[in-house]
Amino acid sequence: MARSAAEKGIALLGIADHGPGMPIAVPKNYFNNVRMLPRELYGVKMMFGCEVNILDYNGSIDLDEKALGRIDYAVASFHKPCFKAGTIAQNTQAYLGAMANPYVQIIGHPDESDFPVDYEVLVCAAKEHHVLLEVNSESFHPRCARKDCRNNYLRMLELCKKHQVSIIVDSDAHCEVDVGNHSRAHEFLAEVDFPERLIANRSLEAAAEFIPFLKRMLAGELTLMDAAI
Ligand SMILES: [Zn+2]
């Protein structure tokens, strides 16, 4: 993945493996040990996070505080094996609970009609908690199983513009060919005339405003333990 990122001229690559609640996930102990991984590979700065699973309507997630303290960032998402869809109010409450968790910096693919949410509440809470909302490029791919993503993103992005809330664009790459492939998301953002200044990963510095680990990485403040190579 890092080599592919290097070939594509990507400066920073975040890898967020699925949290341990997913049937295909890496073991929980992986997240306790990511600090042993290199901070730079093939000239690409590396960050290792987790796409944690939201488990219930309180927003509980499937990684404990010890592991959350060791990873670089956390994306919190609904996935069908781990979360039973509720009412709009229950699903929205689940996102709010996850966003209140100080270890969560990103809400992953909030775009699926099987998990309906109140987008105005979600967007305002993202602003309040300084959490990014993901625009997932894979969601626009015809093979994607998530339903009605375009309509849901249309609604979410209108509200992000209205309330000046930032998003993060990513590939959701599950293999090296898709690393950095944001094209479908960017096409959609252009269609809806979404302002670039609200895209957090338009630059490392802008993304660092939302991801404390990245801020420390850019400032050169990581300790040897943090940056174990
Ligand atoms: Zn996901």
How is the chain split into domains, by residue range? 2-219
Going by DSSP bridges, is the β-strand pair 132-136/74-77 parallel, antiparallel, or unpaired? unpaired
How far, in Å, CA of 71 to CA of 51, rounded?
A: 11
Average pLDDT for 133-150: 91
Residue 227 has pLDDT above 60, yes or no: no
Dist. CA 101 → ligand 1 center (Å): 18
CB 200 within 8 A of CB 168: yes
Hunting for tokens 């093979």 — which residue is that? 143
Dist. CA 226 → ligand 1 center (Å): 26
Q: Which amino acid is at 92?
A: T
CATH of 2-219, one of 3.20.20.140, 3.90.100.10, 1.10.760.10, 3.30.300.30: 3.20.20.140
Residue 117 has pLDDT above 80, yes or no: yes
Average pLDDT for 126-132: 98
Dist. CA 156 → ligand 1 center (Å): 17
pLDDT band at 228 (very low <50, low <70, confident <90, very high): very low
Query: In degrees rounded to 5, what are phi and psi of residue 170?
Result: -150, 170
CB 89 within 8 A of CB 32: no
Instruction: Summarize pLDDT for 56-99 with one digit per residue, the tens.
Output: 999 999 999 999 999 999 999 999 999 999 999 999 999 999 99
Q: How far is CA 168 from the centre of its chain?
A: 7
pLDDT band at 15 (very low <50, low <70, confident <90, very high): very high
How far, in Å, CA of 222 to CA of 178, rounded?
A: 29
Residue 221 has pLDDT above 80, yes or no: no
Cross-strand partners of 74: 50
Structure tokens at 78: 């609904």
Q: What is the pLDDT of residue 229?
A: 38
Average pLDDT for 130-147: 92
Average pLDDT for 8-13: 93
Threshold 0.75, pTM exceeds:
yes
Which residues fall within 8 angstroms of residue 161, CB to CB, at 6 or more apart?
194, 195, 198
Dist. CA 22 → ligand 1 center (Å): 10
Hunting for tokens 């939201």 — which residue is that? 54
